[in-house]
Amino acid sequence: MHSLLPTLRRTLGDDAVLTDAADTAGYVTDWTGAFAGAALAVVRPADTAGVADTVRLCAQAGVAVVPQGGNTGLVGGAVPDGSGGDVVLSLERMRRVRGLDPVGDTITVEAGVVLRAVQERAEAAGRLFPLSLGSEGSCTVGGTVSTNAGGTAVLRYGMMRELVLGLEVVLPDGRVWDGLRALRKDNTGYDLKQLFIGAEGTLGIVTAAVLRLFPATPRRATALVALASADAATELLPLLRQECGGTLTTWELLGRQAMELVLTHVPGARDPFDSTHEWYGLVELAAGSDDVGERLEAALHAAAAQGLLLDAVIAGNPAQRTSLWTLREGLAEAQKLDGLSVKHDITVPISSLAGFVAEVGPRLRALLPGLRLVTYGHVGDGNLHYNLSAPVGDEAALRAAAGELTGLIYDAVAERGGSISAEHGLGVLKRGAAATYKSEVELDLMRAVKRALDPGALMNPGKVLP
Amino acid sequence: MHSLLPTLRRTLGDDAVLTDAADTAGYVTDWTGAFAGAALAVVRPADTAGVADTVRLCAQAGVAVVPQGGNTGLVGGAVPDGSGGDVVLSLERMRRVRGLDPVGDTITVEAGVVLRAVQERAEAAGRLFPLSLGSEGSCTVGGTVSTNAGGTAVLRYGMMRELVLGLEVVLPDGRVWDGLRALRKDNTGYDLKQLFIGAEGTLGIVTAAVLRLFPATPRRATALVALASADAATELLPLLRQECGGTLTTWELLGRQAMELVLTHVPGARDPFDSTHEWYGLVELAAGSDDVGERLEAALHAAAAQGLLLDAVIAGNPAQRTSLWTLREGLAEAQKLDGLSVKHDITVPISSLAGFVAEVGPRLRALLPGLRLVTYGHVGDGNLHYNLSAPVGDEAALRAAAGELTGLIYDAVAERGGSISAEHGLGVLKRGAAATYKSEVELDLMRAVKRALDPGALMNPGKVLP
């Protein structure tokens, strides 16, 4: 037995240190099942001091630490490699809401608080915490900060980076940086919290955060529209922005094959249109007191007048609203049920998005006839989940061609000045591709930052940087 | 003559290198007149390659570089010290707008472009660039990025950090980092641009930026309101947010003595109310097509019904609007004309703001009877310009007490988890105070970042970190 284990048990208590395979299994394999590793132990501290103790003891023993929140990531960023030599540090017991300030519009929460709990606590105070994504029932504050999570309300509220006012972080040497400020403005030197947001736990461990709250938006208006082309989706964006003022919250794109997957696999999903269309847009407005229904109708009329819409259905009640959202939110599950899915989470400048779709799709299908393009995403952010499902009945063909298909997509993204990871991060899955497409100068800067903060390279090793 | 000078002249051209005292005077003294230094030379490159050459040649010669934009800073961050050994690198010749994308809502501009030119270029394209501050006719993109500038629209649009999508930066060794991405989302590793935003030129030199644009807001509604207390200003904030939806752009506070300074010193300034009040708020709504006038009236009625307003005057036309804004925008000039002004640019959590004002003012006046508290600022951001003007006719008394008064203010800010520099930065003026109030862990982190990026300590030496 590694001599670190009794020390950890003595310091944190026996129940905080898991080593039995049955206990650690859920922590060493990721949600997708694609990344399965092993750990020396899984440590579950109950507070910041416990996290600091764990990190300090591991550093003294030269043992690397893999921080983990809700383990809902898609790139293998929160699970250990197969060596069995690292400690997984789970933040799941740190679930305190430390405070909510309704005048300052802030909430202070520990890293293990689940995203939905933050949303609910805000709602109970008549406020809104706007970050919203598929895994919100399981993912945690620490994870969403460390991966700079996005989701379906980024268009209006920004990504997690823009929602964080302050952080508490355990540094790689076990010291605690108390940067839990609840300030809108603070220009007293380098904005250190930015280092840890989106760093995937490679520079330190986020233990708590001060997050921004917003006025509640109980009024919502939602529509699914049929579009003549992907072009129409980007052309509609400025019109929607102008017509809806600040109430435009969501503008999502779905391709026909994405829609078909959901209709096939998700119970209760139904196509609200009589005929099929190549592209769909899901639009949602939200406000405190504005008549967003009226606004949405006016916006859709203006869009129709410009020939940008083929058809539209507006949700008339909450059940209809849920039904429209199912078409979007059922996609992750539908792809999983359908079988092999080669996923790409890309951004291009919004003005290049339609051109990207028009050019790249046919080239992919030329490489692999019958390939199903499961295209959907946050068109208002230029972010597509540009996923590939196999020709029906031929997963082997997709498996064989996957590398070439992904290479083609990433090259096309790079040509347009895009990003090969819009919101999922790099983890293990994309660290190599990122290194390929980034400049040497940029990689040098990243390495310099890593060395400066984690000279022993003990924080989430092998993630982000190859 | 230093051997670097002929090398710089040969590389950049004679007209890019100024050494005569008459030519360099405007670059070595700051706008306030409080910081006067000397330089080996002032170098004015016309493009990024020229900046890179300058930095590389200076690095090779072991000469430090002081980057400078519009030289409008308030903390001595853009002028050299008195040694005469540093090179001032002015970005003022880099004035190209490299592109504007109306679909993607971005503009790409070089560091020397003046803020007002960005606003005007956006307006000509039917868009809005929202950053707005007193010095917008002189300050530059590079300076506003490097100081993370704020201003009067932060409440709605955020500070410069939130408006930057990409940067081009010349690193301390003369290499160029091309991070000029026009993407809403990019989670491919550390967000390097965050390092340079607000770093005051101590980690590298920003040469160009991709900035976010927004829908134009031609409709505006503006009011000055008389408030019973500073409390009322923070209590009004949630009400204004709720009633005005996303159209609330400005919510500024002015104390009576601030108002009096403007009325005394600024030609044409007039008090729109019949009687005097202790506190005033300036509120502005802006929108594309919304009837913001109606919204503002409704919001003010709701506020009056809750007893939060004593009086209000709504601007009925553009001239009246300008007249109300003069009371706010004339403050910098009025203080300068009035004489000595000891300035503090502080933030406290919004919920602590009224308490701060109520407690600290009397304590300051007890220390120096007759002291005039020129209090104004961005109450929606918790940011006060908490400035001190001398008892009438007794600047010597203020000069003598300044250190003690500032110490009292900063202690009270620190007790409330506030910031001693909300938007002006540290430069030389506040580097010492910041070091006093920051934790050792935080200072260590800042030093580690500085060493990692600028190991030779040649970028804007002595600024930010003591």
- Which helix or strand (DSSP H or E) is residue A142 part of? helix A141-146
β-strand pairing of A17-18 with B127-128: unpaired
Contact across the interface for B446 and A190, Cβ inside 8 Å? yes
The pair of three-digit structure tokens given for residue B100, joined into one six-digit string: 């504007």
In whole angstroms, what is the distance from residue B163 CA to residue A249 CA? 19
Which H or E run contains A165?
A: strand A164-170
- Do B198 and A187 contact (CB within 8 A), yes or no? yes
Please identify, in words, the CATH class of the domain defined by A4-90: alpha beta
Let me know: does A129 contact A213? Beta carbons within 8 Å.
yes
Q: What is the pLDDT of residue B31?
A: 85
Label residue A259 by pLDDT band (50, 70, 90). very high
Closest CA to A164 of A139, A189, A187, A142: A142
Q: Report, as an integer, the average pLDDT of A66-77.
A: 96
pLDDT of B243: 87
Q: Which of B177, B184, B426 faces A189 most closely, judged by CB atoms? A: B426
Q: What is the pLDDT of residues B168-203, one digit of tens each?
A: 999 999 999 999 999 999 999 999 999 999 999 999
| CATH top class, domain B219-332 | alpha beta
Any B CB within 8 A of A453 CB = yes
Chain A residue whose CA is closest to B186:
A422
pLDDT for the residue B103: 86
Tell me whether residues B191 and A181 touch, CB distance under 8 A: no
Test mutation, B184, B353, B463, chain A, max A CBs within 10 A: B184
Question: CB-based contacts of B203: which residues, under 8 Å, 6+ apart?
Answer: A190, B172, B195, B196, B449, B450, B453, B454, B459
Show contacts of B412-416: CB within 8 Å, 24+ apart: B412/B356, B412/B359, B412/B360, B413/B346, B413/B347, B413/B348, B413/B356, B416/B348, B416/B349, B416/B352, B416/B355, B416/B356
DSSP, collapsed to helix, strand or coil, labels residue A110 as strand
CB contact under 8 A, B190 and A449: yes
Judge whether A348 and A416 are in contact, CB under 8 Å: yes
- Is the CB of A440 inside 8 Å of chain B's CB atoms? no
DSSP label at A127? E
Reading phi first (left if > 0) and then psi (alpha if -120 to 50, else beta), residue A13 is in left
Cα separation, B146 vs A254, whole angstroms: 40
Q: In angstroms, rounded to a whole number, what is the distance separating the alpha carbons of residues A273 and B261?
A: 65
A455 touches chain B (CB under 8 A): no
pLDDT digits (tens, 9 = 90+) for A95-123: 999 999 988 999 999 999 999 999 999 99
Cβ pair A424:B186 closer than 8 A: no
Residue A205: which of A161, A168, A169, A166 has the closest Cα?
A169
Residue A31, pLDDT > 80, answer yes
A288 inside 8 A of chain B by CB? yes
| List of chain A residues whose C-beta atoms are within 8 Å of the C-beta of residue B426 | 187-189
Q: A440-459: per-residue pLDDT in tens?
A: 999 999 999 999 999 999 99
- Is residue B206 less than 8 Å (CB to CB) from chain A? no
Q: What is the CA radius of gyration of chain A?
A: 23
- Are the CB atoms for A348 and A418 separated by under 8 Å? yes
Does B416 score more than 80 pLDDT?
Answer: yes
Q: For residue A2, name the pLDDT band (cuts at 50, 70, 90).
A: confident
Taking the CA atoms of chain B, what radius of gyration do you get in angstroms?
A: 23
Q: Does this chain's domain A219-332 share its CATH topology with A339-415?
A: yes
Helix (H, G, I), strand (E, B) or coil at B460: coil
pLDDT at residue B8 is higher than 80: yes
Name the band, by pLDDT with cuts 50, 70 and 90, for residue A436: very high
**% of residues, chain B, pLDDT over 90:** 94
Collapse the DSSP code of A100 into the 3-class scheme (helix H, G, I; strand E, B; otherwise coil) and give the result: strand
Taking each continuous run of H as one helix and of E as one strand, the counts in chain B are 17, 19
- List the domain boundaries for chain B: 4-90, 97-215, 219-332
Q: How many CB atoms lie within 10 A of CB B393?
A: 9
CA distance B98 to chain A (A): 15
B18-69: per-residue pLDDT in tens?
999 999 999 999 988 889 999 999 999 999 999 999 999 999 999 999 999 9
Contact between B197 and A191 using a beta-carbon 8 Å cutoff: yes
C-alpha B182/C-alpha A351 separation (Å) is 10
pLDDT for residue A1 is more than 80: no
The residue whose two tokens read 């529509």 is A223
Domain A339-415 has CATH 3.30.70.2740: yes
Confidence at residue B398, expressed as pLDDT on a 0 to 100 scale: 98
- The DSSP letter of residue A266 is S
pLDDT given for residue B466 in this prediction:
84
C-alpha A172/C-alpha A449 separation (Å) is 13
Bridge partners of A40, per DSSP, are none
Cβ of A159 under 8 Å from any chain B Cβ? yes
CA distance B66 to A463: 36
Nearest to B402 by CA among B30, B31, B34: B34
Number of neighbours of residue A163 by Cβ within 10 angstroms? 23
**Contacting residues for B441 by C-beta, under 8 A, at least 6 apart:** A171, A175, A176, A177, A178
In this structure, which topology does domain A97-215 adopt according to CATH? 3.30.465
| A186 or B134, greater pLDDT | A186
Mean pLDDT calculated for residue range A251-273: 96
Q: Is B250 left (phi over 0), alpha (psi -120 to 50) or beta?
A: beta
> Is pLDDT at A312 greater than 80 in this prediction?
yes
Whole-angstrom distance, CA of residue A231 vs CA of residue A355: 8
The Cα of B451 is separated from the nearest Cα of chain A by a number of Å equal to 8
**Within the 139-158 window of chain A, which residues sit less than 8 Å (CB to CB) from chain B?**
147-148, 150, 154, 158
Mean confidence (pLDDT) of chain A: 96
- H helices of A183-291, in order, are 193-196, 230-244, 256-265
Helices (H), B218-291: 230-244, 256-265
What is the rounded distance in angstroms from the CA atom of residue A233 to the CA atom of residue A254?
10
Q: Which chain A residues are Cβ-neighbours of B192 within 8 angstroms?
A: 442, 445-446, 449
pLDDT at B2: 87
Residue A100 token pair: 């909510």
pLDDT for position B300: 97
pLDDT at res. B263: 97
The predicted-structure confidence for B354-397, as pLDDT tens digits, reads as follows: 999 999 999 999 999 999 999 999 998 999 999 999 999 999 99
Q: What is the distance in angstroms between the Cα of A307 and the nearest Cα belonging to chain B? A: 18
Q: Which two tokens stand for residue B277?
A: 């009040």
Query: Distance between CA atoms of A427 and A382, rounded to whole angstroms?
Result: 22
What gap in Å lies between CA B118 and CA B108, rounded to an integer?
Answer: 9
- A 331-370: CB under 8 A from B: 347-351
pLDDT classification of A10: cutoffs 50, 70, 90: very high
In the prediction, which pLDDT does A36 show?
A: 94
In this predicted structure, what is the pLDDT of residue B111? 98
Taking the Cβ of residue B36 and every Cβ of chain A, the question of whether any pair is shorter than 8 Å is answered with no
Q: What's the pLDDT score for residue B40? A: 97
